[in-house]
């Protein structure tokens, strides 16, 4: 009985302490916050692609990694050290990663994100290099959700992103959002920075992709979290999860096949 009473007292004390700590906080996000960055800063983006059959058996695991730097001269961004390593057992043991030379030094103005869906944006990229294109699109998404949309968010209130339904990738396909939502869920700390934690989610989306070799029609669910510094508005950490299920048609095969790809990504500053 004594131990139960102590546990109950500790829980009550913790609750009162938490109330005291949060009392007086203004639970609104600053509306005039701008990104503060005095020079180049680099993030590492790592994304694991799990290729599965319809029964959940792993067929292959691909680990893509890249360095993304923004704040360069002329307000440009650059990609370096993009690599790929694969295994078939799902473990953390990978052979030496192979560099994706075609993306080394890939650079563009920070403000050209609107151009990233045009056919000629990825000059020199192989037609099958969708994972490498995803690095660019996913980073633009994370920065948009965490920085451009931050002022629209209210605590624990879903924000339905307007004009997000149809995304046309010229020469590659399309992505149709059913309902893209952002939710500011609280305050946390990353890398010594007080951060707004933003959840994002988009379920039951339709995806269509094609190139001269293959085509895919299916659905996508994706979600994750973003930590945005309240002092600098820089991204201190982000996660990405996506589950894609669809029918794949390959020119060299007579019958289409069902494919399931699940991916897990992390985006974090280097050197912190």
Closest CA to 198 of 164, 148, 162: 148
CA distances from 142 to 10, 49, 150 (A): 39, 18, 11
Longest dimension (CA), the chain: 73
Give the pLDDT confidence score for residue 85 in this predicted structure.
Answer: 98
- Residue 84 pLDDT: 98
Provide the percentage of residues in the chain whose pLDDT is more than 90. Answer: 68
Nearest to 248 by CA among 203, 205, 209, 206: 209
- pLDDT mean across residues, the chain: 88
Share of the chain above pLDDT 70, in %: 91
Q: How confident is the model at residue 113 (pLDDT cuts 50, 70, 90)?
A: confident
Mean pLDDT of 176-181: 95
pLDDT interval class at 7 (50, 70, 90): very low
Among 107, 115, 126, residue whose Cα is nearest residue 170: 115
Overall average pLDDT of the 51-56 stretch: 92
Q: Given the structure tokens 């699109």, which residue do they identify?
A: 137
pLDDT tops 60 at residue 110: yes
The strand pairing partners of 160, in sequence order, are 181
Q: For 132-156, what is the mean pLDDT?
A: 95
Q: What is the pLDDT of residue 272?
A: 63
CA 114 – CA 116 distance, rounded (Å): 6
More confident position, 110 or 68: 68
Per-residue DSSP letter, 155 = B
| Residue 105 pLDDT exceeds 60 | yes
d(CA 199, CA 180): 11
pTM score, whole prediction: 0.87
Least confident of 123-137, 161-175, 226-240: 161-175
For residue 9, pLDDT beyond 70: no
Q: pLDDT: is 26 or 121 the higher one?
A: 121
pLDDT, mean of residues 198-226: 94
Q: Lowest-pLDDT range, 21-35, 186-200, 232-246?
A: 21-35
Q: Tell me the H-state helices in 95-170.
A: 130-143
Residue 23, pLDDT score = 56
Confidence bin at 8 (pLDDT 50/70/90): very low
Q: Lowest-confidence range among 6-15, 128-137, 197-206?
A: 6-15
């Amino acid at each position: 009985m004594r131990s139960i009473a102590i546990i109950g007292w500790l829980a009550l004390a913790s609750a009162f302490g938490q109330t005291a700590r949060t009392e007086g906080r203004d639970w609104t996000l600053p509306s005039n916050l701008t990104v503060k960055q005095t020079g180049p800063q680099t993030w590492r983006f790592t994304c694991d692609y799990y290729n599965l059959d319809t029964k959940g058996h792993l067929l292959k695991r691909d680990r893509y990694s890249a360095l993304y730097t923004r704040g360069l001269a002329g307000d440009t961004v650059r990609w370096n050290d993009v690599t790929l390593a694969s295994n078939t057992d799902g473990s953390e043991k990978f052979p030496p990663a192979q560099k994706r030379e075609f993306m080394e030094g890939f650079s563009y103005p920070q403000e050209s994100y609107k151009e990233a869906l045009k056919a000629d944006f990825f000059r020199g990229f192989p037609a099958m290099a969708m994972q490498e294109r995803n690095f660019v699109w996913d980073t633009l998404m994370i920065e948009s959700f965490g920085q451009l949309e931050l002022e629209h968010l209210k605590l624990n209130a879903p924000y339905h992103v307007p004009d997000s339904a149809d995304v046309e990738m010229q020469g590659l396909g399309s992505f149709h959002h059913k309902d893209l939502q952002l939710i500011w869920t609280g305050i946390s700390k990353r890398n010594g920075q007080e951060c707004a934690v933003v959840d994002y989610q988009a379920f039951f989306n339709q995806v269509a992709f094609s190139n001269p070799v293959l085509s895919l029609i299916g659905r996508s669910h994706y979600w994750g979290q973003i930590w945005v510094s309240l002092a600098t508005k820089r991204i201190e950490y982000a996660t990405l999860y996506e589950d894609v299920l669809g029918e794949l048609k390959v020119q060299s095969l007579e019958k289409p096949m069902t494919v399931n790809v699940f991916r897990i990504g992390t985006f974090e500053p280097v050197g912190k």
